[in-house]
Amino acid sequence: MRILFALLGSLSLGLGVLGAFLPVLPTTPFVLLSAFLFGKSSPRVHSWLLHHPWFGGMIQDWQQCRGLRPRVRRRALLLMSASFAFSIYMVPLWWVKIGLVLTYIALLVWFLRLPLLPDRPAVAMKQPRP
């Protein structure tokens, strides 16, 4: 089972990274899924994900509080809306457009119901002593 979880975690992480560059593929759910799968299969890779500069904070927020920071939510809403708008514009079939709009609305309702976590305080730089 560990090998299966590791393979699925790798696939999910690959899709998450691709999602950062492709308009229709989401990043966040795939990264969260890969963290779950690597948590079951590889503590080393799971730890790497938790401490990764791009993904770590988001994964820790989700695992500890099941919520998002406002900055993450705004970025996700912007990218999600842009990718759905682009997809709806590009698809020629009206019934597919309706399906995309309904999917967008369902995803939006779910996403907006996630708890918002307070922003992390900025790290203060140490002042040199005179």
DSSP β-bridge partners for residue 40: none
pLDDT of residue 27: 82
Q: Which of 29, 32, 37, 30 is nearest to 8 (CA)?
A: 37
List the pLDDT tens digit at each of the 130 positions of the chain.
899 999 999 999 999 888 877 766 778 888 989 999 999 999 999 999 999 888 888 888 888 888 888 888 888 888 888 888 988 999 999 999 999 999 999 989 988 998 999 877 655 555 555 5
Residues 6+ apart with CB under 8 A from 100: 84, 87, 88, 91
pLDDT of residue 126: 55
pLDDT of residue 122: 54
Residue 34 in tokens: 């890969």
Displacement of CA 37 from its chain's centroid (Å): 15
The answer to whether residues 58 and 65 touch, using CB atoms and an 8 Å cutoff, is: no
